[in-house]
Each structure stands twice: as structure tokens, then as C-alpha cells.
Amino acid sequence: MPPSQRTLADTREVDSAAGLPIAGTRATWNHTLRVFARRKGLMALMVVTLLAGSATGLLVPAVLGWMVDIAGRGELSGALVPAAAVLLTAAIASAALDSWGSIAMAELGQHGLAELREDVFATALAQPSEDLERAGSGDLISRVSDDVEAVNEAIGSVLPSFITALFTISLTIVGLGAIDPRFAIAALLGIPIHVFALRSFLRASGPLYRRVRIAESQRGQFLLEATAGVNTLRALGHGSRHLARIAHSSLEAIALVMQTVVIRTRFQGRLNVAELVGLCSILAVGYWLVGDGSVSIGAATAAALFFHRLFGPIGVILMNVDDLQLAGAGLSRLVGALHGASGAAVSPLLSDDVGSPRDGVVLTGIDAGYLPGKNILSGLDLHIREGEHLALVGASGAGKTTLARVIAGSLEPTAGSVLWNGVHYGSAEGTPGLGRSAVLISQDIHVFSGTIAENLRLAAPAASDAELLAALATTGADWVDALPQGLATAVGGGGLAITGDRAQHLALVRALLSDAPVVVLDEATAEDGSRSSQLLEEAALRAVRGRTAISVAHRLSQAAQADRVLVMEDGRVIDAGTHEELLSRDGLYARLWLAWSANRSLS
């Protein structure tokens, strides 16, 4: 299991109810229109070419009707030549225009989508971490991957055929009307059935598809858990239980899929009824109009062929409505991530009631927590001198991680201020202009897809290879040299898999490379027991040398090396001082140390 874990003090159900905001229909439309308005020329080109393409496409059945009339009159075959020439030209022109139109549409849509997803990502980065935590990082990931994919899919394949179909249908109705208005009326007779079929389909399909997705992702999760935890399952002898659990969720998903097939086929059946009604009406009208001499047999034939050609486009429109709905939902989630963020970052830190500036990190009256109304820290004051090494000690749930995150600026306090050398920096991560004052190395470790060098340069984009190698040497990460391509070795997803402690080691090298004056280490060396943790402990010391450092100490040896130790309990600092001072005071720390060192000497 990857050692990425949430160190939240409170346990909570993962709940998307408090997720990132979702934009309303109007906001989504406004955004889309603004994006399109930036490329007016392209949009005009798209509409004109697609309309012209559909119009020339409609010449085909008209010309066929013309040929029927020529053939019906028994004229010489030479009379067919102009008709055949028009037919050929129309077919080729229509194909060319359709192609241009869909390229224009792709340009328009894909550029808009790329801008949107980049904006969403930048906004998410600028957002206070705790907002993202509350929403669950999964929400953002699914927006930037699944939703972008849904919109992309719509732009790439659904939308072109949808718009072409829409144009074809409207122009066909116009064409039928041009032959005789009564044909157009006959063709429209099926529309009430279409509307009814579509409405009842959409009403049922939305919730059902959501349930299918939930059931399928549940099955995927069970599958993943079982195969990733295969050794545990073998040890427990629980393989068949999990196989049964997967089977159960899978059959549940299948039952739902079968329900979707039922409503889809029912929908299709209703469309067939609409087609039947329309076709019979057109034929009957044709019979009537030919009978009273107002149109030729060729015209009646053309009308029937016109209508037969509509079956495809109408199907495209109606059967793709749910895909478009999905894309629309994705779009509104993307736009929502963009708009909802800005208001949330209002920070109480920007008040100007700053006392006499002191050097180092100054925390005044800090209240902080993860859930509204449930503060873990309250009214906490703390001064860390520049260059001081501070260790936080205490039991789980004492508030060490919360305090560490407040100091690192990754958790916005609900009240109070955090200053670095007299300047606010709590919100610096959202405002690059202020620069970065603190880095946080937590147990959340992630190896990014890319080379080792790319992973390290995230912290120092301008660092040369030599500087990277020097940093690796300083922190004792000589194992990088032993990798197949050294710094250029691809790691992460798709690359070489590296162990948790090495990933942690890379995180410490990043801390060394970053130029932030404050380094916060939260459980950074608690990854594994024994020897590798000694190596990481050593690396951590090198990484923070000469800087202000705050570490959450799990091993008391870390605390013993610090300039000052803070002992925490229930969100309060109950004791503080150097290692020696605390030992002499005979408090909680002294008791802990006694137990710890007794065990040490034994080993």
C-alpha cells in the first residue's frame, strides 16, 4: 500500500456533498459563450461550412427525384448527364464542407477546453489546501481527468455528428416544404412522439446511469483492493470471501446495466414508431398530391427518400443526448471549480494589526481545525526564532500535525496570524508575488511520472544537473547513481517503481533544493522502522541545516537533537524547553524519554 495517508485528526466519511462548487446552467453557458466569442471568425466559419455542407448533401435526394422523373418520361440517357454531374458535385462538395466544418469545430472546442482545464488547475493550486481537503482531492482529480475527458469526447466525436444531424434535419424539413408544404407537415407528424420518447428516456436514464457508474466503480474498487491486498487475503484465508464480494457487486452492476438496456431499447422502439408514422404520412401525402397532379412521381419519390435519410440523423440526435448531458455536467463542474474558488480564500491574516515585528515565525492567537466549529488548536501563541530547530512531541491527536500545517501555511487558521520576519505568509501559496516562505514535507509522498531530475526540479526549476547531484550527495541519496540512467531514470506511473523510503528520501532532497527559509517535517522519517529510518533522519538533518526547522518527532532521538521541544496534549502546548530542561522537570516528556532510553540501552 502506498504510504500516502491522510493525517486528519477526525475520522469522517468521504463525502462529496461538501465538494467543490458546481456552476449553474447560466454560468456555464456564459463561460462557454465567452470562450467562443474570443474566436468569432472561427465560429462563423464553422456555422457557414456546416450549413453549406448539409445543404449540398440535401441536393442528393432532390437530384435522385429529378432522375426518377427523367426516367419516368423515358427520355434518352443523354438527358441524365447533367443530373448525374450535379449529383457527383453535390456529394463531393458536401463531404469537403463537412470536413472543414468539423475541423473548425474541433479548433474552437479544443482550444476552449484546454484554456478551461489550465485555468481550473491553476485555480486549484491557488486554493487554500483545507478547502481541497474538505472537498476531497478525488473531486478535483475527477474534474481534471473524467470531466475533461467527457467534454473532450463530446467535442471530438459527439458534437460534430450532433450538429451536422441538427442542420440536416432542419434543412430537410425546409427541402420537403420546398417540394410541397404538405410534405413538411407530414414529416413533422412524428415529432410529438419524439418529444415524448426523449422526455421519458431522459427522466429515467440520468439517475439510472449514475447508479450504474457507482456500481461499476464499487466493483472496480473491490477488485483493486482484493488484488492489491492479495498477500493479506492469503494470510487471512479470505480469498473466496472477497471473490464473492466482487461477484456480488458485479451482478448488481449487471442488473443495473440490463435496466439501462431496457430503457434504451424502449426509447429506440418509440423512435421507430415515430419513423413509421412519418413515413406512412409522407407516402399517403405523396399518393394524394400525385393523384391531384400537384407534384410529379419523382417529387413524391424524392420526398420519401428525403424522409428515409432522416432516420439516421434523428437517431444520432436522440441517442446522443445523454452523452451531451454528461458532457454538460462535466463542463459545469469545470466552470464551477473555476468560479467557486475565488471567494473562499478570504483570510483573517491580512488584517493590519501587526505588533512589533520580530524575526522568525510568529504565531498569534491561532485557532485551527478541519471541520467548521471544531477547532483542534485554540488561542495558540508561538515564536520560533530564525534558524531554530523545534521539535513537536505528543500522543496521536495532540494537534502536532495541525500545528505543523499551520506553520507551513498549508492549513489556514480560522483565527489569528502567522508572520515570517514580520510579513504575512500564510496565504503566500495563493499569491506567488509574496514568495514562498515555508515548505512542508509530509507523509503524503507521491512520485511524479517523469525522470528523477524532473521530480527534483519541481522544488527548484532552475537547478542544473550538477546542483541536483550535489543535493543528492549531501543527503546521502547515493542510490540514485546506481539506477539504470541515474538522474534521467524515469520513475512513477509507467516508470521504475521506487520504494516508499526512497520516495521519502527524494522528498527530503526537494526540501534541501527549495530556497524556503522555513522547513516543516511532519512524520517525514517515520516511514519505516530501523535502519532506513536512520538514513532518512540523517538526510532530514542535512536538509534543514542552517534554516528554521519544525519537525513532528515520532522518535524521541529527533527531539533530543532539537534546540527546543514543544510537548503537546489535546491541542495545547503543555510544556516547552530544551531536551535537558524538560528532562529535569520530570513531566510527560521525562517519562517518555525514560521509557525510550531504557529500551535503547537494551538494544
Partner 1 sequence: MVSTLSAPTDPGREVGGTVPGGHAFPTTPGQTLIHGSFGEGRGQRLAVAAGCRMLHQVTEALVPVAIGVTVDQAIAPGNPGALLWCLAGITLLFMVLTFSWRIGTRLNTSVFSHGEHSLRQLLVGKVLDPLHSGAGRGPGRLLSISTSDTRHTAGLSWVVTEQLSAFAALLTAAVALVLISWQLGATVLLATAAFMLLMHLVTTPLERRAVQQQAAAAESAHVASDLVTGLRVLKGIGAVDGAARRYRAASRSSLEAALSMARAKALFTGVSLALSGTFLAAIACLASTMAANGTITVGQLVTVVGLAQFIKDPMTALAFLGAEIREKRAVAGRLSGLFAEENDLDQRVPGTPAPHLGMPDVDRTPGVARGLSVAPFAGSRFVMNLDVGSITGVTASPANARRLIELLTYQRPLTRGELSLHGRDATDLGPEEVARMVFVSDHDGAVFSASVRDNLATDTVDTALLAASGLDEVLRRLPAGLDSRIGEHGRTLSGGQRQRLLLGRALHQPQPVLVLHEPTSAVDSVTEARIAESLGRLRGRPLILITGSPALLGICDSVVDLDAPQPGNVHGSEASNAP
Q: Which three cell numbers stand for residue 369?
A: 481545525
Sequence letter at residue 236: L
Which DSSP helix (H) or strand (E) runs through 433?
none
> How many angstroms separate the Cα of 80 from the Cα of each of 90, 98, 288, 306, 355?
15, 27, 28, 20, 95
Question: Which of 143, 154, 146, 152 lies closest to 120 in space, CA to CA?
Answer: 143
Whichever of 32 and 152 has its CB closer to partner 1, that residue is 152
Whichever of 223 and 324 has its CB closer to partner 1, that residue is 223
Whichever of 220 and 486 has its CB closer to partner 1, that residue is 220
Total Cβ atoms within 10 A of residue 144: 17
Rounded to 5 degrees, what angle do the CA atoms 143, 149, 154 make? 120
Query: Are the beta carbons of 300 and 289 closer than 8 angstroms?
Result: yes
From the CB of 95, what's the least distance to partner 1, in Å?
4
Whichever of 30 and 145 has its CB closer to partner 1, that residue is 145
Whichever of 25 and 494 has its CB closer to partner 1, that residue is 494
Whichever of 47 and 71 has its CB closer to partner 1, that residue is 71
Total Cβ atoms within 10 A of residue 306: 25
From the CB of 156, what's the least distance to partner 1, in Å?
6
> How many angstroms separate the Cα of 228 from the Cα of each of 1, 136, 231?
8, 22, 8
**Pairwise CA distance, residues 80 & 69, whole Å:** 10
Q: Name the burial class of residue 589, with classes exposed (0-12), middle (13-18) and buried (19+) by CB atoms within 10 angstroms of its CB.
A: buried
Largest Cα–Cα separation, the chain: 119
From the CB of 122, what's the least distance to partner 1, in Å?
5
Helices (H), 320-360: 321-344
From the CB of 2, what's the least distance to partner 1, in Å?
9
From the CB of 264, what's the least distance to partner 1, in Å?
8
From the CB of 504, what's the least distance to partner 1, in Å?
11
From the CB of 363, what's the least distance to partner 1, in Å?
19
From the CB of 54, what's the least distance to partner 1, in Å?
12
Please name every residue paired with 572 in a beta bridge, in sequence order, or none if there are none.
569
**Pairwise CA distance, residues 386 & 361, whole Å:** 7
Whichever of 449 and 485 has its CB closer to partner 1, that residue is 449
From the CB of 422, what's the least distance to partner 1, in Å?
20
From the CB of 396, what's the least distance to partner 1, in Å?
5
DSSP conformational letter for 81:
H
Whichever of 135 and 384 has its CB closer to partner 1, that residue is 135
From the CB of 269, what's the least distance to partner 1, in Å?
5
Residue 428 region by backbone torsions, left for phi larger than 0, else alpha for psi between -120 and 50, else beta: alpha
Question: Which of 549, 562, 450, 469 lies closest to 509 in space, CA to CA?
Answer: 469
Whichever of 108 and 184 has its CB closer to partner 1, that residue is 108
> How many angstroms separate the Cα of 208 from the Cα of each of 102, 259, 356, 406?
32, 8, 62, 43
Q: Name the burial class of residue 294, with classes exposed (0-12), middle (13-18) and buried (19+) by CB atoms within 10 angstroms of its CB.
A: exposed
Whichever of 14 and 33 has its CB closer to partner 1, that residue is 14
Show the beta-strand stretches assigned E in 353-435.
361-371, 374-384, 389-394, 415-420, 423-424
Query: Are the beta carbons of 341 and 123 closer than 8 angstroms?
Result: yes
From the CB of 197, what's the least distance to partner 1, in Å?
12
**Pairwise CA distance, residues 50 & 596, whole Å:** 77
**Pairwise CA distance, residues 151 & 330, whole Å:** 6
Whichever of 23 and 299 has its CB closer to partner 1, that residue is 299
Total Cβ atoms within 10 A of residue 321: 17
From the CB of 246, what's the least distance to partner 1, in Å?
6
Whichever of 541 and 593 has its CB closer to partner 1, that residue is 593
From the CB of 62, what's the least distance to partner 1, in Å?
12
Whichever of 178 and 244 has its CB closer to partner 1, that residue is 244
**Pairwise CA distance, residues 186 & 279, whole Å:** 8
**Pairwise CA distance, residues 558 & 537, whole Å:** 8
Whichever of 253 and 364 has its CB closer to partner 1, that residue is 253
**Pairwise CA distance, residues 218 & 212, whole Å:** 10
